[in-house]
Structure 1
Amino acid sequence: MHEHVPSIDCGHLKVSEIHTLYYEIFGNPLGKAAVFLHGGPGAGCVPRHARFFDPTHYKVVLFDQRGCGKSTPCGCLEENTTWDLVDDLEKLRKHLRVNKWLVMGGSWGVTLALAYGQAHPGAVSGLILRGVCMLRQEEIDWFYKQGANSLFPFAWDELLSILEPVERTNVIPAFYKRLTSDNAESCSQAAKAWLKWEMGLSFFQVSHTSKYWDGKEYAMRSLQQEHSSKPVDLALEETKTDSTHGVKSGTAHDMAVLKMTPLVAQARLECHYFLNAGFLKESQLLKGVSNIRHIPCVIVHGRYDFVCPVKNAFDLHQAWPEAKLCIVMDAGHSMYEKGITQELLSATEELSEPRLACTMIDVSEGGSFTLEQAGSFLLLQALRAAVQWSLWGGL
Structure 2
Amino acid sequence: MDRLAGQIGGDPSRGRQYPLVDPFDQRSIDMGDGHVIYLEQSGNPQGVPVIVLHGGPGGGCSPFMRRFFDPAHFRVVLFDQRGCGRSRPHAEVENNTTRHLIHDIEVIRQELGIRRAILFGGSWGATLAVAYAEAHPFAVLGLVLRGVFLGRRQELDWFYGGGVARFFPDRWADFQRPIPEAERGDMIAAYHRRLFSGDRGQELRFALPWVMWENALAGLEISGPGHAPPDYARAFARLENHYFAHDCFLQEGQLLRDRPLIEHLPAVIVQGRYDMVCPPLTAWELAEGWDQAELRMVPASGHALSEPRIAAELVRVMDSWRDAPPFGRDD
Give yes or no for TM over 0.5.
Answer: yes
Do the aligned residues in 2 keep the contact of 1:296 with 1:358 (CA within 8 Å)?
A: yes
Evaluate the alpha carbon distance shift between residue 352 and residue 271 of structure 1 in structure 2; reply closer, same or farther with a 3 A threshold.
Answer: same
Do the aligned residues in 1 keep the contact of 2:120 with 2:129 (CA within 8 Å)?
A: yes
Do the aligned residues in 1 keep the contact of 2:58 with 2:236 (CA within 8 Å)?
A: yes
Q: Say what the alpha-carbon RMSD is for the aligned residues.
A: 1.5
- For 2:32 and 2:260, locate their aligned partners in 1 and report how far apart those are by CA, in whole Å: 31
Matching residue within 93, 114, 133 for 1:117:
133
1:63 maps onto 2:79 in alignment: yes
1:296 maps onto 2:312 in alignment: no
Using the size of structure 1 for normalisation, the TM-score is 0.77
Q: How does 1:292-371 map to 2 (within 5 A)?
A: 292-353=262-323, 355=325, 358=327
- For 1:62 and 1:290, locate their aligned partners in 2 and report how far apart those are by CA, in whole Å: 27
- For 1:273 and 1:115, locate their aligned partners in 2 and report how far apart those are by CA, in whole Å: 14
Q: Deviations over 1:69-125 (max 9, x none)?
A: 000000110010001000100000000111111110000001100000000011111
For structure 1, the residue ranges without an aligned partner over 5 or more in a row are 208-228, 230-250, 360-380, 385-395
Deviation of 1:200 (Å): 0.3
Do the aligned residues in 2 keep the contact of 1:107 with 1:308 (CA within 8 Å)?
A: yes
Q: Match for 1:323: what amino acid?
A: A
For structure 2, the residue ranges without an aligned partner over 5 or more in a row are 1-16
1:135 maps onto 2:151 in alignment: yes
- For 1:134 and 1:26, locate their aligned partners in 2 and report how far apart those are by CA, in whole Å: 29
Using the size of structure 2 for normalisation, the TM-score is 0.92
Partner of 1:88: 104
Do the aligned residues in 1 keep the contact of 2:215 with 2:225 (CA within 8 Å)?
A: no
- For 1:252 and 1:173, locate their aligned partners in 2 and report how far apart those are by CA, in whole Å: 23
- For 1:165 and 1:339, locate their aligned partners in 2 and report how far apart those are by CA, in whole Å: 39
Q: SS of the residue aligned with 2:278?
A: coil
- For 1:103 and 1:42, locate their aligned partners in 2 and report how far apart those are by CA, in whole Å: 18
Deviation of 1:252 (Å): 5.6
Do the aligned residues in 2 keep the contact of 1:41 with 1:108 (CA within 8 Å)?
A: yes
Q: Deviations over 1:330-383 (max 9, x none)?
A: 10001111110111001111222575x525xxxxxxxxxxxxxxxxxxxxx3x9
CA radius of gyration, larger in: 1
Q: How does 1:1-395 map to 2 (within 5 A)?
A: 1-205=17-221, 253=226, 255-256=227-228, 259-353=229-323, 355=325, 358=327, 381=329
Deviation of 1:146 (Å): 2.6
Q: Deviations over 1:283-315 (max 9, x none)?
A: 100111100011110000001100000111111
Q: SS of the residue aligned with 1:166?
A: helix
Q: SS of the residue aligned with 2:258?
A: helix
Identity, in percent, stands at 41
- For 1:314 and 1:354, locate their aligned partners in 2 and report how far apart those are by CA, in whole Å: 25
- For 2:281 and 2:141, locate their aligned partners in 1 and report how far apart those are by CA, in whole Å: 26
Q: Match for 2:199: what amino acid?
A: N
- For 1:347 and 1:195, locate their aligned partners in 2 and report how far apart those are by CA, in whole Å: 30
Do the aligned residues in 1 keep the contact of 2:213 with 2:225 (CA within 8 Å)?
A: no
- For 1:157 and 1:305, locate their aligned partners in 2 and report how far apart those are by CA, in whole Å: 20
Higher relative contact order (CA 8 A, sep 6+): 2
